[in-house]
Homo-oligomer: A and B are copies of this chain.
């Protein structure tokens, strides 16, 4: 991940609830160190704000106050609301959950669709996802970070497809990422585009449609 200018400079503000930690040395970001704690507090406050009021109302001063971090730190390190959203997305990519291994491709894809469904229908996380997708529509840095989040998630789940192909459950030359996209797309489509109700029946249908198409060779590489 590229580092910001602020991360290369010594932290100067001490007006923070986190001041019991030692400031990180210039140019270092230790996990659990002060810089990491400040980032964690600011990204949690950003997520809270996105869940509560969405991207259009995201306010740097409120995030700083809610995180207990000095405004100057937040402005210097993140720059703008889109800087906060982009960093939140990079953090979400780093924290992406490992893929399932249920023993069958259908089982793994059901687990995958179930996770997507659970996230999008969760009142807090659904609102956060709507907000970061809206932010990406408004800003190129957020769009790249959103793309990076989904790339990380797809790569995390790619082994599921390889194992399924090795077990002969789909054609061996299936493009695994295309199959994974086919599972998620119908759920996001209802959630974000057509704004239609989303339930377990749609997750199940998405898995069946993706597996049927894969079995028919639709996702095999040319």
Q: Which residues of A contact B (CB under 8 A)?
A: 54-56, 130-131, 133-134, 136-138, 143-144, 146-147, 150-151, 154, 178, 181-182, 184-186, 188-190, 192-196, 205, 208-210, 212-213, 215-216, 218-219
Q: Is the interface of A mostly helix, strand, loop or mixed?
A: helix
Decide if B209 touches A182 in the complex (CB within 8 Å). yes
Measured between C-beta atoms, what is the minimum distance from A193 to chain B in Å?
5
This protein's copies in its complex: 2
CB contact between A144 and one of B186, B189, B195, B209 (< 8 Å): that residue: B195
Given contacts A189-B184, A195-B136, contact A212 B218 (CB under 8 A): yes
How far is B122's CA from A121's CA once the two chains are assembled, in angstroms? 31
**Within the complex, what minimum Cβ distance (angstroms) separates A85 from chain B?**
12
Provide a sorted-by-A list of 8 A–B residue pairs whose CB atoms are within 8 angstroms.
A56-B56, A137-B192, A146-B193, A182-B186, A209-B213, A210-B213, A212-B213, A215-B216
Complex-state Cα separation, A160 to B96, whole angstroms: 41
Minimum C-beta distance from A103 to chain B (A): 23
For A178, the chain B residues whose CB sits under 8 A away are 205
